[in-house]
Amino acid sequence: MVNNSFLYTLRVSLCQKFLRSKQAKTIITLLIFLFPPICEAQNLLNKPQRAVIDAKRNRILVSNYNTGDIIQIDSAGNQSYFVQGADFVDGLEIVGDTIYGTGNHRNIRAYNLETKTLVMDTIFSSVNPGDEYLSSITSDSAGHLFISCPGTHTIYKLRISDKSYWIFAQNNGLTRPNGMLLEKEKNRIVVIDDSPNSIIHAISLADSTVSTLMTTSLSSPDGIVRDRFGSYYVGGYYLDGIYKIDSAFSKPPTLFYAGNNFVYPTYDEKDHTLLVTYYENNSWTRIPLQVLDFISDYQTGHAPLTVQFSENFETLHQVTSWNWDFENDGVFDSNIPNPTHEYSQFGKYTVRLQTTIDTATYTIIKQDFVNVFDGTSAVKFKGNNNFAFIHAAPSLNLQENFTMEAVIKPEAWSSSTYGSTVFDKSALRVFLIGNSLGPTRHYTLVTDVKLQDETKVKLSAPNNTIKLNIWQHIAVSYNSLLSQFKMYVNGVECNISVIGSNQLSGALFNNDTIPLFLGNDLALSTGYKGDLDELRVWNVIRTDSEILENIDNSLAGNEPGLMGYWQMDEGKGTELIDKTNAGNNGRLESAIFTNGVDLTTLSVDNEETSKVANPHEFLLKQNFPNPFNPSTTIQYQLTSPSYVKVIVSNILGETVATLVDGFQNAGIHESIFLADKLSSGIYYYQLVAGNYRQTKKMILLR
């Protein structure tokens, strides 16, 4: 039996001998190479603000708001101090081998990028200490810096050579100017305001003239940059991400990348990415900007519709193939860039593009991208900043006696107490209200009226008058002599109530120079979400029967007293054509065309006569009399024995009477409809006989 102490001594001796050997040193070295010591990289970011790219030295430099340090980040992501306590708290700009930055409150400092020595420390003594600090910096090629000062609504210009500075632009629409971008090819500086509903300005480098490029709904953004394809990107601490704007500033900003507490974006042209800092998270990231998309000249129109497609790619890589499936039926219809396609049938079409970029294949599918109509269309509003407008004209002055009509299909209620505006002309705003006015007024039609002395009166239809997702006719009229205002829904006069103590009296506020806004108010703050069709403006007071008579008939455009008629049947483009001789055309702004109301035209009587002449057809005739009270006769023709149903329904599609439900022989039949227990309005009667089905409208007028 071997002693345990002897074995222990032997093991220790052998281990020591092995560790001194050449083989052990080789193994240990290999283990260190394969499994290096694990350590966590130090994060030096402390409320990071602005990042700039030092391309010459392949690094990123970031300003720290809390400490004033300049942090350098190498290509591997490792952080180290470039200069501690540099007093760089906000904007940065690299010019040659020097980095310039805004210091604490009122100074511009600069450091040499090689030696880290301080080469400038200029205090802007003309800026009061209470006017906050200098913010962003940009530069031109002539040796000047441009520095924004939000607190004084000023852009300063500084000559680097002698450190002198002066006011370059001040006020003239600038409201807390912040982020800046110099565009040499356009000889201008693009500036974005740090304010609610921020305005993006252009300042001429030649004469400091300030002009407006766009008014946005963005709240207090910080910075703006542009990529190599011309798109702009906006970031800010108070925004919910990075927003993208087209090169012409023609459309509202769209959310491109969601996230919180981003500050200034920085564009890296080398790899087409954005560098953004997370202020609260003490971190930074890259956002790829490669865009693979396609667009078309038209997305709506009437059949047959020819559409020109084109790819909208923002990529640094080579596109080698295009395969287009215009109807998403699995069959490729074209393999060339920028093809055209004709849609001969109405309907919604999903479009698919399969493309190869370098060796990778990408598929882009756009659901219901093309909407082809069958001859009728309407305008769809999506809320927010969507609107359309009719140009101002004296003939459209809604001041004394007038009637306005439209057909609407709302999709959602607004949560605002101001509702969602159907149309607005300052003196008259017609809008929909959900439940935001409390239990006394909800889900109904409301009108704000402004009198000549600018007194405002609010009038409301009864609760639950308006329904979502169905077409409804609305009308308002005013008699200034009697100070009498009327509201109609589906041809029925509403029992309106005045909200508040103000009362109607005399003519309305003069509005002959004010355009008629559709789908939003004049301030673009109460956007309507839904469809609008058949807008009519009269300079006469339409009677109840006149409104009912043409409630879902299209007009010729030359009716007496008709001052404006927009049928919304253009289907594509942005123009709204007035069908009267007045020529008061309008324009869509962000709103689009959609499927419209299928109105029965005034030529129905002629069509009916031609059908009676052919005895070999099933036929449902127009009721007589029409309008009626309280009864009317419905006549129909059967060409063969059939099981027949004749039903009557209201505007909501609810059955109110079944007149016939049984087998009948061929021939002419009639049925009497008695409506003594029904209220005035539009009703529909339908004949179903075998495979034949037809529906017609009738009007009950008490």
CB of 370 within 8 A of CB of 582?
no
Task: Kindly report the CATH number assigned to the domain that includes residue 428.
Answer: 2.60.120.200
Task: Kindly report the CATH number assigned to the domain that includes residue 621.
Answer: 2.60.40.1930
Q: How many domains does the chain have?
A: 4
**Within this chain, do residues 279 and 309 fall inside the same structural domain, yes or no?**
no
Given phi > 0 = left and psi -120 to 50 = alpha, else beta, which region is 418?
alpha
**Within this chain, do residues 212 and 160 fall inside the same structural domain, yes or no?**
yes
CB of 394 within 8 A of CB of 609?
no
Give the pLDDT of residue 359. 84
What DSSP letter does each residue of 295-335 carry, written as one string? EES-SEEESSEEEEEEE--B-SSPEEEEEEETT-SS---B-
In a domain, 239, yes or no: yes
Instruction: Give the whole-angstrom CA distance, residue 174 versus residue 149.
Output: 10
Q: Give me the residue label for tokens 């300005």.
A: 201
**Within this chain, do residues 318 and 340 fall inside the same structural domain, yes or no?**
yes
Domain closes at, from 288, 312, 335:
288
Between the CA of residue 294 and those of 166, 189, 245, 364, 369, what are the distances in Å? 47, 31, 17, 8, 11
Instruction: Give the whole-angstrom CA distance, residue 524 versus residue 216.
Output: 11
Computed on alpha carbons and rounded to an integer, the radius of gyration of the chain in Å comes to 36
**Within this chain, do residues 229 and 332 fall inside the same structural domain, yes or no?**
no
Domain closes at, from 595, 626, 653:
595
Report the alpha-carbon angle 507-418-381, nearest 5: 95
**Within this chain, do residues 125 and 225 fall inside the same structural domain, yes or no?**
yes
**Within this chain, do residues 367 and 405 fall inside the same structural domain, yes or no?**
no
Beta strands in 34-78 (DSSP E): 48-54, 59-64, 70-73
Query: For the purposes of burial, counting CB atoms within 10 Å of the CB of 437, is it exposed (0-12), middle (13-18) or buried (19 or more)?
Result: middle
Instruction: Give the whole-angstrom CA distance, residue 553 versus residue 637.
Output: 25
**Within this chain, do residues 523 and 545 fall inside the same structural domain, yes or no?**
yes
Task: Kindly report the CATH number assigned to the domain that includes residue 336.
Answer: 2.60.40.10
The pTM score is 0.63
In a domain, 630, yes or no: yes
Task: Kindly report the CATH number assigned to the domain that includes residue 269.
Answer: 2.120.10.30
Helix (H) or strand (E) holding 10: helix 4-19
Domain closes at, from 288, 309, 331:
288
In a domain, 19, yes or no: no
**Within this chain, do residues 420 and 556 fall inside the same structural domain, yes or no?**
yes
Give the pLDDT of residue 642. 86
**Within this chain, do residues 542 and 586 fall inside the same structural domain, yes or no?**
yes
**Within this chain, do residues 73 and 195 fall inside the same structural domain, yes or no?**
yes
CB of 490 within 8 A of CB of 682?
yes
In a domain, 6, yes or no: no
DSSP 8-state symbol, 616: T
Give me the phi and psi of 185, to 5 degrees please: -70, -20
| Beta strand 188-193 pairing with 199-204 | antiparallel
**Within this chain, do residues 584 and 610 fall inside the same structural domain, yes or no?**
no
In a domain, 493, yes or no: no
Give the pLDDT of residue 608. 35
Measured over the CA atoms of residue 121, residue 127, residue 129 and residue 130, the dihedral's sign is negative
Mean pLDDT per 10-residue section of the chain, whose length is 702 residues: 40 44 43 36 88 95 94 94 91 96 84 95 74 85 95 93 94 94 96 95 96 95 94 95 95 92 92 93 92 94 96 88 93 96 94 92 94 94 92 95 96 89 97 73 90 95 90 94 94 90 95 97 95 97 88 90 96 96 94 83 32 55 88 88 91 90 85 91 90 87 81
In a domain, 2, yes or no: no
Beta strands in 425-506 (DSSP E): 428-433, 444-450, 456-460, 472-479, 484-489, 492-493, 497-499
Residue 89 identity (one-letter amino acid): V
Give the pLDDT of residue 436. 61
Strands in 137-139's sheet, in edge-to-edge order, are 137-139, 144-149, 154-159, 165-170
In a domain, 343, yes or no: yes
Between the CA of residue 473 and those of 466, 479, 650, what are the distances in Å? 10, 20, 14
Instruction: Give the whole-angstrom CA distance, residue 86 versus residue 313.
Output: 42
**Within this chain, do residues 405 and 434 fall inside the same structural domain, yes or no?**
yes
Token representation of residue 436: 């935001």
Measured over the CA atoms of residue 543, residue 546, residue 552 and residue 557, the dihedral's sign is negative
**Structural domain boundaries enclosing 638:** 604-700
Q: How far is CA 39 from the centre of its chain?
A: 48
In a domain, 254, yes or no: yes
CB of 433 within 8 A of CB of 439?
no
Measured over the CA atoms of residue 9, residue 13, residue 14 and residue 16, the dihedral's sign is positive
